[in-house]
Amino acid sequence: MKQFNVPAIYRSNLIAAVKNSRKAKDKMKKDFSPTLLDFGPIQIFLSRHFGLCFGVENAIDIAFRTIDENPGKRIFLLSEMIHNPQVNEDLKHRGIQFIQDTNGKQIIPFESITSDDVVIIPAFGTTLAIEKILKDIGIKTEQYNTTCPFVEKVWNRSEQIAQKQYSVIIHGKPTHEETRATFSHAAFNTPTIVVNDMKETILLGKYITGEKNESDFYIEFSGRYSDGFDVKKDLQRFGVVNQTTMLASDTQAIADYLKVLILNHYQLNEQTISERFAETRDTLCYATNDNQSAVYGLLNQVADLAIVVGGYNSSNTSHLVELCEEKLPTYFIDGEHRIMSQSSIEHYNFHKKENTTSTNFLTNKNPIKILLTSGASCPDTMVENVITKLISFYSINKTIEEIKNEFEV
């Protein structure tokens, strides 16, 4: 796999030693059990897969290289390059300005941008409408485009099935940058609609079968469908693609549900289902799959609590939190500074979209066992910093350097 030039400030010698050791012993990535970092009174179990994925490393590489290649020029990012506050702040400190916020709200008017400026497309990609605006200004959008290759794979798959006269159903968060971009690319080629979860999928199914009046569709799915969408015609034949950071199991469950519904409604079988339903299992992102599978493996370990590190607006990270929450107390933090003391931690409740503070989160158990993972846009240094903060509250038997050396043998 291609190697990227990611700044050293995002690298961790400890995490690199652990990952390299696991990779050497498990080249086929079939072992999803966690890695134990045993400090004596505190035991930290690291997820088998976590941290910066291919697409994020690619984006970081391009962004920092863009700065180096364009001294004296104004450099803009269309929006947050990735959902990580540290990386985005680092880019701002290097002089990069953000044109839009994460929700698409304009911060810098397009009218103020000139053809002499540099604009970086974020890892989530962008809509065709925004791409046209930039090209009309004279911006070469392809020159500094950090769109994740796996997001582009979803776009390409959407185009392929559109050419065969299928509509597209996107499983994603309707306001997320990636979903907005994927919707734009899919809707350019074929009727397209977005569903957020299984509840909305079941509701959509009632329009497919005719159980619900089609006029209600345009109210219940307002803002989710492409221009000219004909609920009666455009839901007869479709494929399901995804926002790559959603729970892979949820996307597959949605596709399976709709496939069975189509089989029964049109009285088809496995040999004739392709008349109405396009198989798109290949659009699930490998990193999303690996990180989520690793969390399932992590949760097989008996532990007292879990900590998930990442940006609070990161979709893939929130899903890791969601998985952990099902089994044990889980704390979602965006850095070690949220751990204020041995008894106090400030963490994010992504369900309520608010910060909260918990006390006595580190129990008196000896040893205390903690599960630890991070999102796909979280640098490994942040994970090591969390480990350093946690062990600082204990009289540990081994240092981080000693633990690192054990994995380098």
Tell me the CATH number at 269.
3.40.1010.20
What are 238's two structure tokens? 């479709």
| Whether residue 1 has pLDDT greater than 70 | no
143 lies in some domain = no
Looking at the domain assignment, is residue 81 inside a domain? yes
Q: Please give the pLDDT value at position 3.
A: 80
Of 252, 283, 314, which residue constitutes the final position of a domain? 283
For residue 101, give the CATH number of its domain.
Answer: 3.40.50.11270
Residue 384: inside a domain, yes or no? yes
- Verify that 28 and 112 share a domain, yes or no: no
What phi and psi, each to the nearest 5 degrees, are found at residue 313? -100, 15
Tens of pLDDT, residues 216-258: 999 999 999 999 999 999 999 999 999 998 888 899 999 999 9
pLDDT score, position 143:
93
d(CA 273, CA 259): 8
Domain limits for position 129:
54-137
Would the pLDDT of 389 be above 90? yes
Sheet containing strand 305-309, edge to edge, reads 35-38, 42-46, 368-374, 305-309, 330-333
Same domain, 248 and 267: yes
Can you read off the two tokens belonging to residue 227? 């221009």
* Residue 2 domain flag: no
CA distances, 189 to each of 68, 142, 171, 379 (Å): 37, 21, 18, 37
The whole-angstrom separation of Cα 292 and Cα 315 is 12
Q: Do 386 and 331 reside in the same domain of the chain?
A: yes
Same domain, 218 and 172: yes
Q: Is the pLDDT of residue 24 over 90?
A: yes
Residue 38 CB partners (closer than 8 Å, separation 6+): 367, 397, 398, 403
Please, which residues have CB within 8 angstroms of residue 291's CB and are 6 or more apart in sequence?
A: 47, 49, 50, 53, 316, 320, 373, 375, 376
For 164-202, the pLDDT digits (tens) are 999 999 999 999 999 999 999 999 999 999 999 999 999
pTM for the complete prediction?
0.91
- In terms of domains, do 200 and 259 share one? yes
The alpha carbon of residue 67 and the mean position of all alpha carbons in its chain are separated, in whole angstroms, by 25
Residue 144 lies in a domain: no
- Can you give the pLDDT at residue 145? 96
| Pick from 119, 76, 123, 66: nearest CA to 97 | 76
Phi, psi of 319 (to 5 degrees): -75, -30
Calculate the average pLDDT of the chain: 95
Domain stop point among 81, 113, 137: 137
Q: Looking at 227, 254, 283, which one is the last position of a domain?
A: 283
Confidence check: pLDDT of 282 > 80: no
Same domain, 89 and 203: no
Q: How confident is the model at residue 102, as a pLDDT?
A: 87
Arithmetic mean of pLDDT, 329-336: 98
Q: Would 387 be classed as within a structural domain?
A: yes
Report yes or no on 221 lying in a domain.
Answer: yes
One domain, residues 377 and 313:
yes
pLDDT, average across residues 277-281: 89
The residue from 57, 80, 131, 178 that is catalytic is 178
- Asked whether residue 37 falls in the same domain as residue 60, the answer is no
User: Is the pLDDT confidence value at 38 over 90?
Assistant: yes
Which pLDDT belongs to residue 405?
Answer: 96
Q: How many domains does the chain have?
A: 3
Higher pLDDT, 57 or 287: 57
d(CA 253, CA 255): 5
Domain membership of residue 3 (yes or no) is no
- Residue type present at position 350: F
Domain check: are 400 and 301 in the same one? yes
178 is catalytic: yes
